[in-house]
Amino acid sequence: MKSSPKQKIIEALKDQQAIFGDDLFEEKANLKKSKTSAFEMETTSREDSSRRIAIVKEPVTKSLASKNAVKGDWEKSQSLDKLNSLICNCTNCVLHKGRNKFVFGSGNPNADVMVIGEGPGAEEDKQGLPFVGRAGQLLTDILKAIKFSREEVFIGNIVKCRPPDNRTPLPEEMETCIPYLAKQIELIKPKLILCLGLTAAKGLLKKKDSLTSLRGQVFEYEGIKTMVTFHPAALLRNPNWKKDCWVDVQKFRKLYDEMVA
Ligand code: URA
């Protein structure tokens, strides 16, 4: 589906905000600083590639089970299928009102690698599957480039119902839905997680930094090594970021190889 000019502007601004952080959008933003960071983005991203992988240990607590989370039998699920059957008719946030299909996620229930996006788009909402639109095709290609097939990983999202007009999910929608993702992670027990874009990073790692500062680092979510790279939809809009994504995913693959060796 084609974006309207207004949507395109919103998406371009979202991309810039993800890359450079909120400073760019704050009233008192220091112009000099934001100019520098635009320049720095180019140089640091190259430096990142040679930087040794440093693991940032974060005490990511059970805070994901936030105040908005609705308790229920789903918490006791012993399998993904059971979990899906218990949450697929969720009405805990407003996003269910526009839902065509609940997008639980798909892939290997015993995956070593989980890939986490933001939330379903139009095509995903239609099919009930994650990353099946244009961004999904690019994700498949990115995975293939680092020798993973879609079938061997598990692909999920921060929110499981499509936000209207593909807007970014609101904090309360994320807080409400993330416990489902936390439960998926608990059941799958991946060795590694890859967050696609700032919303996924913010949601899972509770990070407020820009994408530029999160890329290239290895965080821990509940003891699981987690990295952050660009969202494929942002890469479709800004193909010049693909080379930096390539650097990130190669690092991700290297980390995986070291872990399974
Ligand atoms: N974008 C996402 O973040 N998730 C999807 O499932 C599809 C597009």
Give the model confidence (pLDDT) of 123-140 as tens digits: 999 999 999 999 999 999
Please calculate the CA angle 66-70-71 and round it to the nearest 5 degrees: 100
Residue (of 150, 183, 164) closest to 69 by Cα position: 183
Per-residue pLDDT, 8: 79
In this structure, are residues 11 and 168 in contact, taking their beta carbons and an 8 Å threshold? no
In this structure, are residues 255 and 218 in contact, taking their beta carbons and an 8 Å threshold? yes
Give the model confidence (pLDDT) of 153-176 as tens digits: 999 999 999 999 999 999 999 999
Tracing tokens 């105040």 back to the chain, one arrives at 67
What one-character DSSP code corresponds to residue 147?
T
Please measure the distance between the N-terminal and C-terminal CA atoms of the chain and give it in whole angstroms: 43
Residue 124 Cβ contacting ligand 1 at under 6 Å: yes
Substitution site in 1, 129, 157 for ligand 1 pocket (most atoms within 8 Å of beta carbon): 157
Query: Mean of the pLDDT values across residues 244-251?
Result: 98
Residue 130 Cβ contacting ligand 1 at under 6 Å: yes
Bridge partners, residue 99, by sequence: none
What one-character DSSP code corresponds to residue 115?
E
Give the model confidence (pLDDT) of 40-88 as tens digits: 232 233 333 333 455 655 444 444 445 566 889 999 999 999 999 999 9
Residue type, position 28, single letter? K
Confidence band of 23 (pLDDT split at 50, 70, 90): low
Residue 121 Cβ contacting ligand 1 at under 6 Å: yes
Substitution site in 124, 126, 229 for ligand 1 pocket (most atoms within 8 Å of beta carbon): 124
CA 100 – ligand 1 centroid, Å: 15
Please state, in angstroms and as integers, the Cα–Cα distance from residue 149 to each residue in 53, 145, 146, 227, following that order.
Answer: 24, 9, 9, 18
Residue (of 64, 60, 133) closest to 103 by Cα position: 133
The pTM of the full predicted model, rounded to 2 decimals, is 0.82
Query: Mean of the pLDDT values across residues 146-153?
Result: 98
Confidence band of 34 (pLDDT split at 50, 70, 90): very low
Query: Mean of the pLDDT values across residues 187-202?
Result: 98
CA 154 – ligand 1 centroid, Å: 13
Question: Which stretch of 58-62, 90-94, 163-167, 218-222 has the lowest confidence by average pLDDT?
Answer: 58-62
